Structure 1
Amino acid sequence: MEAEQLQGKVLVIDDERGPRESLRMVLKYDYEIFLADRVDAGIELLRSEQPDLVIMDIRMPEKSGIEGLQEIRDIDPSVSIVMLTGYGDLETAQAAIRFGANDYLQKPFDTDDIQAVVKKYVERSQLKHRKHQAQEELQKMTQSLGREVGKTNKLTSLGAASSELVRDLRNPLTIIRGYLDLLNYELKEKQESTSDEMNEYLDQIESNVGRCAELVESWRALGRFDFSQLQRLNIPKLSNDCFRDAATHTDISFSVQLEGIEEQYEMLGERLQIKRALQNLIDNAVEAVEHQPNPQITVLLSMDGGDLEIKVKDNGCGVDTKRLRWIFEPFDNTATIEKGAGLGLFITKKVIEEHRGSLQFESRISEGTMVTVRLPQAQTALGYFSSPESLIPA
């Protein structure tokens, strides 16, 4: 009979060959049997085979059954243990019950009795084991549910806070932009010459105020895909714009490479959202390489079938494989990825998927990271976005 068809595992520990073999012959058709002639050998089998029931003689050389009973209970408190006792050892057998044995059988044992006792305690051990497994699964489910509830609560709170934040930020940004326009106008009206450095400062202020305004609008639009904002986007130019913004704050080497794709390549999308997604990937790459001796970030644009493929590669510190499974979860902060609220990659993935694309993250510690984004080209995307219903998952 195959082991998987048997009802359980039984370990017999007895220094006498006769009782050992008798038990094996009686039980072998229903159970997987393991034999040991001394306590220490039985302990080894207990650790390796994890039996449902241990049948052990009380009187043995080297170590007695009582000593073995105590060791077994220290190793596995839940395994069932039945002691074998000879005539005149009833008091010792009863003492074994007090030390943690489940039952005892008197030699010479009756076949029907031994089968009934073994069946009873094997089933009891298996029931305990299933109960323990169920408790572990329940605990895991409870912990998982707790994490999901926590994320939901955070996202709900963040949504309410973001709505207030967007309203609060739009007014001062509008005022700053107004004063900036007024300053430029006054300088032109008075025909006052400004240095190249001053012009650069003004350009940077205007550029970053514009970016802040875009981010505010992007936050406001998060969670709803606006079909009215779909337009043809020049992805090489958009990538270069993102690099230019990042390059103003760092000395890192950036490059955009085109493989089998023209500089005027276009895709259909919502500009603010796509730019924000690319910016998040580049910002993450910048953080990953900022402490490297020769930091490099490359964006590789190519065609793969009917899709545009964007690869953002860095030679940074990489991400541990244990963290990769959580990398797109909201509020997942890592030392090498997000240093903010832990929403960057979560938002990026959401934006890419709303554009009928996909995002893949590959990373190795000390080797770097490559994020691959696939997006449908403009002609293909027209079919996807012909109506709002086309975005509803099948």
Structure 2
Amino acid sequence: MSTAPANVPAPSTLPTLLIVDDEEGPRHSLRMVFRQDFNVHAVENGDKALDYAKAHPVQLAILDIRMAGKSGIDVLRGLKAIDPHIEVIMLTAYETIETARQALRLGACDYLSKPFDLSTIREAVTRALHLRRISETVSSTSERLKALSEQLNDASVKEEMARTTTEIYAGALHDINNPLTVITGYVELLRHKLDSVGSLYGADLQAVREDVNLLAKQVNTCAAITRRYLRFVNKRSAQAPEVSVNQVIDDVHTLMRGHPSLRGGKLSAKYLERDASAQIGGTELIQILLNLTVNAFQSAERPQTVWIAAERYDEPLKIETFRDTPEERFINLESFANHAPLVALSVIDQGPGIPQDVLSRIFEPYFTTKAQSGTGLGLAIVVRLVKHHCGLIQVKTKLGEGTRFTIYLPAKEPNNSANPFGT
């Protein structure tokens, strides 16, 4: 078994103190004062100091302001650029108020005059080390809080997405209820007919045959509805997802037919004249449009007409002209796959519009203007899904006139043999 050579020192666990002074005397004095409590590294110019800080973690630094080459102010600026948490003490034999102000503005924690006495420099270093440890604690706590917040956001968004899936199931039950009601009625009618006659001949037999055919048709309707909604919630395949735009618009129209948010309103649709396949899963696109459509109906107290409108682009968008304004916002411009063909799906309402202070926050998780019923996660889900598929969100609003949410997604020519639900 091999052992480490005896002359190799163990790694230092002491904090590192970087001393920068072009005079040998102060460098030597400070090294002797702090060598027991710090891993001291002393250099004679700013370039060596910055090279060392780039290659090694530094907790504290003591800088002379006036040096040949880079000044102490330049070195301070460079150290803070490398690590903003490095605590820096400035030393000078030529003190001026302006220099002191400049050093403090750049983040120096103390400013001492030469010559300095031993107790003063020790106190300054003790304070600086205390500040560094507080900074590290705050930074570590902030990172843990950020990680915890992201975990909570993920859990909440997943819960909200599960709720949307539950709404799809509820839509299935609602749609199946109508043919089941017809079936129940005809079963009762048939039982009554059969109870009232001993045997069936002629017109009575023909009437029963017609009723049975109608029952079979309603059963087939139930089966078709079940298959349709099961496709909505099927797991996505490993292949790149795609879904017919016109099919999804039709599906959302069906899902919204009995939705309580309608409140006497009307959902209208403008389909693509030439269908295209959006590069996204069918369930995901349905979730996006459902969230936007429900929000649109909830934007006004009175009944209104909400439009879902589809448009196709066979050339890239001129995104260099897209700019946020008090009435318009863009989300995910930096990661948008702006390659033709593209499809745009807009949800347009006739509500009161979105005030500027609200428009700047609507995509934040948990932000809601619906104090009693809103979770503040619907638009966060939209952002997550659109970003995941390299899409773009545009919001255009005008107070007193309404709002238009547009989702731009990569597309391609429809594959007639592919599953229209993108699952």
Q: How high is the TM-score relative to the length of structure 2? A: 0.45
**Which fold has the larger relative contact order, with Cα–Cα distance below 8 Å and residues 6 or more apart in sequence?**
2
Which one has the bigger helix percentage?
1
Q: How high is the TM-score relative to the length of structure 1? A: 0.48
